[in-house]
Amino acid sequence: MYSCDDGFLNDYHLVHLGAFALRGAALTMVEATAVAPEGRISPSDSGLWKSEHVPLHKRVVDFIHSVDGKAGIQLAHAGRKVGDGRRFGDRIPAECGNTDSDRLQASTYPPWHKADARSTAAESDGGWPTAVYGPSDQPYPGLNEVREMTVDDIRVLVHRFAQSARWADEAGYHVVEIHAAHGYLLHSECRAPISNTRTDEYGGSFENRARVLVEVFRAVRLNLPAEKPIFVRISCTDWIDGGWDLEQSVRLAAELKGLGADLIDCSSAGLDPAQKFDPFSGF
C-alpha cells in the first residue's frame, strides 16, 4: 500500500490489515510482497528479501492470530512491468522527481503523486532504472527498457522465492500465495507468448513457458511445511489476440494441482494495455 521504507512493514500495515481480521475476516492476505528489492512494483512496496523483514511481518501476523484470524502473504516479483501512472492524470511534482527527460525509469511512484507519462521513479527517488528485467528484451508498452533474463537470473529468482517462503513461514503465515498474474514476472516470463519470445528451455512450447512458474512452485513447496497451503494467483486470460487464454489456464491449473497447489486464485489481464473485454451484467 505504498507505505514501506526499504520493504519494512510498519504501523500502517498493523492497523490496515489488523482491521480486517478484527472485523471477522477468516483470512487476511498481505499485499504483493517482493522477493527482491528490484522486484517491488514501487519503492514503497513491502518486501521479504532479507531476514530483517521477518520481525515486522511477525508483528502483523501475531495480531491477526490474536483475534482468531489467519494470515497469508503474496510473494511477488514485478519483472518488466514497473507500472505507469498516466491513468492518474496530473504531473509528478518536482520534489517527487519530475524532470524533462523522456526516458522512463523504474519503479512506480505512488498514485497520489498524480503522475503522467513520467510516472516511474528515478534512481534519486529510490527507483532502479538499470535493474529491470523480463523474459525477453521487450518492455511493457510505454515503460522502460528491459534486459532479458539469463538462465542464471532465473535460478536466482527461484532461490529468492524459496528463501522468502522460508521467511514467511518463520513469520507465522498460514498461507503463502505465489503471484503469477497481472503482467508481473511470473506471468510475462512463464506463460504469455506475446512477452516471452525466448528460444531456449524457457520459451516456445507451453511446457517451456510454464517452466519458471513450475520451478518456483516446486522450490516454494519444498521450503514450506507439507501442511502449509500454497495458493497461485494467475491471470486466466490476457484479453488480447495471441495472449494467454482460458484453455492454457485450465491446463496450467491441473499441472499445479498435481504439484500440490491448494488453490488457484483466478484473475485476468494486466499483460498489455491493448487488452479488450466487454463487461456485462454480473461481470
Could you give the CA distance from residue 195 to residue 130 in angstroms, rounded to a whole number?
19
12 is catalytic: no
Catalytic residue among 109, 133, 184, 202: 184
Residue 155 CB contacts under 8 Å (≥ 6 apart), including other chains: none
Q: What is the 3-state secondary structure (H, E, C) of the chain?
A: CCCCECCECCHHHHHHHHHHHHCCCCEEEEEEEECCHHHCCCCCCCECCCHHHHHHHHHHHHHHHHCCCEEEEEEECCCCCCCCHHHHCCCCCHHHCCCCCCCCCCCECCHHHCCCCCCECCHHHCCCCCCCEECCCCCCCCCCCCEECCHHHHHHHHHHHHHHHHHHHHHCCCEEEEEECCCCHHHHCCCCCCCCCCCCCCCCCHHHHCHHHHHHHHHHHHCCCCCCCEEEEEECCCCCCCCCCHHHHHHHHHHHHHHCCCEEEEECCCCCCCCCCCCCCCC
Residues that are catalytic: 184
